[in-house]
């Protein structure tokens, strides 16, 4: 994901030290039950769609915005799937972050998937029984979005 301007401003003062940041993941389904994925430009791997909310932006609005910015698909947020404090990550430039992820199930309402920014190499719909190789966190989020259960929380 591209680094938002407000994070660049924070980094000017904070340097590479750990930043605790919000993150939003959007699990988007179409009417056929397929899930929308993007192949990331930074590592070439398929992934669920996500990003960082702007200061004051609501998580659902962030999910809808990120999906459109990255894929040109219009969607509506339906429900919170999970809330999870992710593991610390160190980026190649030395920046350290830890994200509080809010995953939201979304329903596509328009647009054809296409690469809509410089963060993705490809975007496409995938049937749940024919997913590309995904990181376990993406698979878990998709599984939770398909389930009819309550919002998942790690009680650890």
Please report, rounded to a whole number, the percentage of residues in the chain having pLDDT higher than 70.
Answer: 99
Query: Who contacts 79 (Cβ-Cβ below 8 Å, separation ≥6)?
Result: 104, 105, 151
Q: What is the pLDDT of residues 97-132, one digit of tens each?
A: 999 999 999 999 999 999 989 889 999 999 999 999
| pTM of the model as a whole | 0.93
- What's the confidence (pLDDT) of residue 155? 81
Average pLDDT over residues 77-83: 97
Please report, rounded to a whole number, the percentage of residues in the chain having pLDDT higher than 90.
Answer: 83
Task: Answer whether residue 153 shows pLDDT above 60.
Answer: yes
Task: Answer whether residue 29 shows pLDDT above 60.
Answer: yes
Neighbours of 156 (CB within 10 A): 4
79, 104 Cβ separation under 8 angstroms: yes
CATH topology assigned to domain 5-149: Nucleoside Triphosphate Pyrophosphohydrolase (3.90.79)
- What's the confidence (pLDDT) of residue 1? 55
The domain segmentation of the chain, as residue ranges, is: 5-149
pLDDT band at 2 (very low <50, low <70, confident <90, very high): confident
């Amino acid at each position: 994901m591209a680094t938002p301007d407000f994070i660049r401003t924070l980094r000017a003062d904070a340097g590479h030290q750990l930043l605790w940041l919000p993150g939003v993941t959007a699990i988007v389904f179409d009417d056929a039950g397929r899930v929308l994925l993007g192949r990331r430009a930074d590592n070439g791997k398929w992934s669920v769609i996500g990003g960082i909310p702007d200061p004051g932006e609501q998580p659902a609005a962030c999910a809808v915005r990120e999906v459109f910015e990255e894929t040109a698909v219009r969607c509506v947020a339906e429900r919170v799937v999970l809330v999870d404090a992710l593991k610390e990550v160190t980026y190649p430039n030395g920046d350290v972050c830890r994200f509080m992820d809010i995953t939201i199930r979304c329903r596509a309402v328009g647009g054809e998937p296409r690469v809509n920014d410089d963060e993705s190499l490809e975007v496409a719909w995938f049937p749940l029984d024919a997913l590309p190789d995904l990181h376990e966190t993406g698979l878990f989020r998709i599984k939770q979005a398909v389930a009819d259960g309550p919002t998942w929380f790690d009680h650890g």
